[in-house]
Structure formats: structure tokens, C-alpha cells
Structure 1
Amino acid sequence: MEWLKAIELLRTGRLAGVLVTVMSVRGHAPREAGAKMVVAADNVWSTVGGGNLEALAISRSRAMIADGVAVPEVLTAALSDKAPYQHGVQCCGGEVKLLLEPLPVVPSVAIFGVGHVGMELARILARQDIELHLVDSRAEQLTPERLRVLDDAVARVHVHNVPVLPELVVGELPAGTHAVIMTHDHAEDAALCDAAIRTDQLATIGLIGSSAKWTRFQRKLTEDGNSAAAIARITTPIGLPNLPGKEPAVIAVSVAAWLLQRFTTAPSPTTHPAPTTHPTPSPTTHPAPSPTAHLEAAPPSPTAHSEAAVPSPTPPSFPSAPDASPAAGAERQTVSAHSAGRDPAPAQREATA
């Protein structure tokens, strides 16, 4: 059916439209009840009868698209020479009711890092009608077996296995995407932050982590030439600040709720949101704990990091505390694709895209 193909075309192209359906017919009309047409800002597929009736439907549909109307409407048209419209008369003699259903552009979310928290977040967001992008530099995190829990997803899931420089994916995301940065590697997180604030196409940028981590990131992002306004586009810690708990599932619920709030309030991709980051704490300031503030301040343990990969028979050796390994040096030396190249851990680079 042409109208079904049109809806798919709009969805794939992330374009808004309106589905027009003939609800009922009284008397004579050019099409029967159930006939459908799809209207976009610059195109029309199929027909509900042509003439004044169709012209009215197209005109109103395009006004709905321009105004961002999200609620369906019913349009009644009398097909009589006694009822002239701006598009002429249509003297079939009947009356037609049309249902105009908005086809909005669905939200898009990119999760960078599909470890414990990332997978829990993916499972929650998969129940929403969204475009869900899963990005990880570790092939073992994106295997079909591990992602099988998303087989019944309502969302359209796009998997990005990027062994080298996952920050390059940022430039490939649809305009208006909400980026959530929660990888296993703080150097990778920092590179992603740098790439994210260098594009105007993202709706929001959220970072998981502690205040100590954010203090280091702010300093390095500034050294890399980013303005204070650009850095302020990053929200950290991401999630609901008053929801306690550090378990991956709790953090995921918190982040998912934060995202759902922004699906309806996020600014357009070409405008920067107002600064929402937490200020750098001073010696006398102690920010309230957040479910996404990682256990950086606590003594590291093998399980004290929500960002780590799910254990496997041969788990990759990702340290839970960046200061305890060479990864910390990588974070301090390179946090963006514009700095000297990172030398990624072998476990990340052996996988193929």
C-alpha cells in the first residue's frame, strides 16, 4: 500500500507528516470510508478523492505540521455546489468526515557504553517508540546473544560496534538526538563529550559520573579550546537527583525518567539549551549525592563501577578507577578527537565493526 510505504519513508527520513483517513461518507463521495492519504510538508502520497476535499485536507495537514500539532483532528467537508471553498466546489452531493492523525518525528537516543547501566537503560527505553542507538567500542557488549533481551523492542534499535574512535559516531547521529555518555573508559567519555559539544545537532548531552570526574573533564575540555557555554551543554550527573540508589537498574530508571521529561521539552537541534551542569564544587561545597555519581570517592573494588562490562568467561581488564591504571594518563593527555590520538586498549581494538 502506498500510504504504508510513505509512512516508512517519513519515519526513516525523520520527517513529520499527517495520515488522512476517510472516516465516514454520507451520500455520494469520490472515495469510500477507509481510504487513506499521507501528507508531508512538501509531498503527498495516495488520495482521498481529489478536488476541494483533498485540497482542504492537505492544507490543514500542512498547517498541523508547521504548528507541531500532536492531537488528531476531524475535518468535515460538504460536497455540494451550495458549499463553496477556497479550492472550488465539489458537487458529488455527499458529506465526508476525514481523520487527520499527526505522524511526528519520534525521539532519538544514543547510549554510548552498553555496560551494566547502559544495558538496563536500553531495556527501559526499548519499550518506547523511539530510535535507539547503542554504541560501544567492545564487540562483546553488542553480541546478538546479549542484545536478545531487546528482540521485542517497540523502539527501532541501531547497533554501532565501533572498535576505534566511537566519538566519530556523534557526527552520524540524527539531528535532535539525546546523547547519553556512560562508557567503561573515562578517556573515551571525555572524547565523546568533546565531540558532542562541537556539534549543534544534539538535543541534549548527558554524562554519568562523579563531581571529581567532571572537574577534570571541565579543565581538559577548556584546554582543548571549548567555550564555557559549549561545556555547559553537558548535564552531569544525568538523571533524577532525588532518586537514591547506585544499582545499575536504579540508575537506569533515573536516567530514563530524565530523558522522558526532555522528549517533550528539549530545544531544537540548532539551539543550545540553558546551562544545566552542576558547578565545580569548592572545598566548602558538597553536592547532594546522585544515583549516577559513581563511586570514585570510595576505595575501588572489582564491582564498584556501574560502567563496567558485564562479566564474561574472559573478562576484559577495565579498571574501576581511572587513576589506578594507564587509562588515567590517557584521559589527562587526550580527551577529544582533536587532540593527539589515543592508543586504545587492545581489548577494545581486536573486535571488528
Structure 2
Amino acid sequence: MSGRPADPVLAAALKRLQEGMPAVLATIAATRGSTPRVPGTRMLVDATGIVGSVGGGQLEFEIIASARDLLASNASATRCQHFILGPDLRQCCGGALDIVLERLMPESLPWLKQVLDWEFEGAFWEGRLAVGDPSSARRLHRLEGAPSEPGTARLVKSVDGAELVEMSGRPWPQLYLFGAGHVGRALVRLLGDLPFHVTWCDGREDIFPAEIPMNTRCDAAADIDALIKGAPADAHFLIMTHSHALDFDLVAAVLAKERFGSLGLIGSDTKKARFLQRLRADGVAPGDLARLQCPVGIPGIKSKVPAAIAIAVAAELLVLTQAREQEGAVTGVQSVG
């Protein structure tokens, strides 16, 4: 899949509008000092609930209250509020941030549909909305390439007022998950709230659950060889099918690809030893064999409960992707999902 996963907050905003439910989009536009979240972070607020988070605690409580005040007022003008994370909010971060609150109306549907279409295509965009204007006045510009700071926002101030400027394209790692059993299902549920683009493969078409997270695409009829060969060079692979024979074929196919982010296999030390023996006999180089992680997941979690295994695997993925991001920051290389 060449596109990026839908931003869950913007996707939820589109769904609310399509269902005729009023909501307010809260976006962190600027920060100074220590703050719980970064510029570009969004939260959707309606009369009964929220989607996403801009930091939790008393700060988020105040932002939700302000958003619901905006809903109750029926005002269409976008607002900007400044918060200092000090004693008044019972938070000791010491920083400050600006939050832009915009009431979403039926007239906001075109821009929401457009940015989500661009995300699906893998295109990048810039959005601009003047504080005081309605959400529908947002100006969009499709970018030719990835922005220098993807997935961020800033508040541009001038003598004429202030403007929220947003950049799309926060890079999300691509994960190819093979197997839709108990652990696979638990892992997909967990990854639904994490920044991963998941392609979930299992030849048993009727095994996928009815509810699939927005960042996940199911594929029951994939050409596995073509899928693996066509995956990005930094893609992560997790193999946990119902068949050891299929597991082995998938491991061999990923190792033959040579360039990939990581390769994890569910199983025991005994399973790993048997796989390595066969792969060694097939001529796989020792350096490639060393890249096979089995058992998969961060060490120290011994539970065999599917949800516990999923947590261990997700934690390991986060460690791997964080290390890659830090490496990219040092070298100046940026990965684009």
C-alpha cells in the first residue's frame, strides 16, 4: 500500500460530520518549554466523548471544556487559547502551548475528504486556517514532496492576526503481519492506537474480525512473494501463522529480500533452532540468520496470554522504530511511510 494510514482524529471527524454530529477539532499549534505533546497533535471533542489526546490531566480537561463551550455557542469562528502549564492547571511541566479550536460544520466536509484522500494516495499537503475564520475557510496546498517537518503545526502571527499552518505526513513505519490467530488479533487491536501502517495477511478470508483499526488493511489473497519483495526497505515483518511450514517459507522469503527493518517470528527457542538449521543448510548467510528474532517481543514477559504477547511485541516494535528515528535524526536521513 503506497498511501499512509488515515489520521484517526481526522477520520473520526469526517465520520462525525457524515453522521450529522457536531464536533470541535483541537490542534496544538505551538509550544514553548516542556509540554506533554508536540505541535500538530490533534483531539476531537463532541458532546459526549473525545478521540485522541493533547496531553491529559487538567490541561486536557480545560481544553475539552472550552471545546464544548464552543459547541454550545454555535459560533463558527476558530479560536486560539494560550495555556501555561503551571500551578493554575495543577501541572508542573513549566511550559506553555497554544491550542486552536475549530468548530466542524457540514461545510468542513470538502477539506476533510480531500486531506484523507491525499493521505491514502501517499501525497503530502499543507493546510492554513486563519484564527477567526470558520473551519471551511482552510486553504489546502498539495506538496510535490515530503515536507521538512512532517506531521507538525505552527502558529504564524502577524499584524493581521494569527494563522494555523499544518504539515501532513508524519512518517509511520510499515508493518507486515502474517497470521490472524489469537495473538495476531490482540496485536492488531493494540497497534490500532499506535503509529504503524499495518498490512495484515492470512489466507483464511473469514478469519478477520468485523472491526478493523483505521491503520490496518486486511489481505486474504495476497501474492506473498510479490508483497514481500515490494515492501519498503525499512518495513517490519511479523510472522505468526497457524502453520510452522508456512512460517518457515515466510521467514525464508523475508531473509531473501535482504533489506528490511526487522523480522520477528512467534515461537520458542527450539522452533528458532530448527528454522536456523534448515536455513543454514539452504545457504543463508550467518549475518542474515542473526536478524531473525525468535521468540519475538521484549525479554522479561513470560506470559503466554495473547494480549501479554501482543504487548511485548508492540513494545519491541516501538523500541526498534525509535532507534531508527534517532539514527535518522543523527544522519539527517528521513524515512517516509
Aligned pairs, number: 219
Q: Is the 8 A contact 1:113 1:181 kept in 2?
A: yes
* 1:38 to 2:97 alignment: no
Contact 2:203 2:220 in 1 (8 A): yes
Of residues 104, 127, 131, the one that matches 1:20 is 127
Give the 3-state SS of the residue equivalent to 2:165 in structure 1: strand
| Greater percentage in helix | 2
8 Å Cα contact 1:203/1:267 also seen in 2: no
For 1:12, the aligned partner's letter is F
Contact in 1 for aligned 2:150/2:167 (Cα 8 Å): no
1:241 to partner: Cα distance = 0.6
After superposition, the Cα gap between the structure-2 partners of 1:25 and 1:184, relative to the gap in structure 1 and judged at 3 Å, is: closer
Contact 1:243 1:254 in 2 (8 A): yes
Secondary structure at the aligned position of 1:103 is classed as: coil
Q: Which residue of 2 aligns with 1:73?
A: 154
| 2:219 aligned residue (160, 167, 171) | 160
* CA 1:110–1:267: 2 relative to 1, 3 Å: same
Q: Aligned-pair RMSD on alpha carbons?
A: 3.4
Cα separation, 1, equivalents of 2:136 and 2:217: 37
Q: Equivalent residue for 2:116?
A: 8
1:111 aligns with 2:177: yes
- State the AA in 2 paired with 1:7: V
Specify which structure has the higher proportion of strand: 2
Once residues 205 and 117 of structure 2 are traced to their aligned partners in structure 1, the CA distance between those partners, rounded to angstroms, is 31
Q: RCO greater where, 1 or 2, for CA within 8 Å and sep 6 or more?
A: 1
Match of 1:211 in 2: 269
Map Cα deviations across residues 137-191 of structure 1 (whole Å, 9 max, x no partner). Answer: 334423xxxx12x25x2x333222149x745432344554321111121221111
Correspondence for 2:281: 223
Contact kept, 8 Å, 1:114 with 1:135, in 2: the verdict is yes
Deviation at 1:127, TM superposition (A): 3.2
Q: Which runs of 5+ in 1 are unaligned?
A: 43-61, 79-93, 271-353
Question: Cα gap change, 1:77/1:221 in structure 2, threshold over 3 Å: closer, same or farther?
Answer: farther
CA shift at 1:222, angstroms? Answer: 2.7
| 1:254 to 2:335 alignment | no
CA distance in 1: counterparts of 2:217 and 2:135, whole angstroms: 39
Structure 2 gap ranges (5+): 1-108, 329-337
Contact kept in structure 1, 2:115 and 2:125, CA below 8 Å: no
- Helix, strand or coil at the partner of 2:140: strand
Q: Distance in 2 between the 1:224 and 1:173 partners?
A: 23
Q: Distance in 2 between matches of 1:201 and 1:39?
A: 31
The structure with the larger Rg is 1
Give 1:96 shift: 5.3
TM-score (norm 1): 0.52
TM-score for the superposition, normalised by structure 2: 0.55
Q: Contact 1:109–1:178 at 8 Å: present in 2 too?
A: yes
Give percent identity, aligned residues only. 25
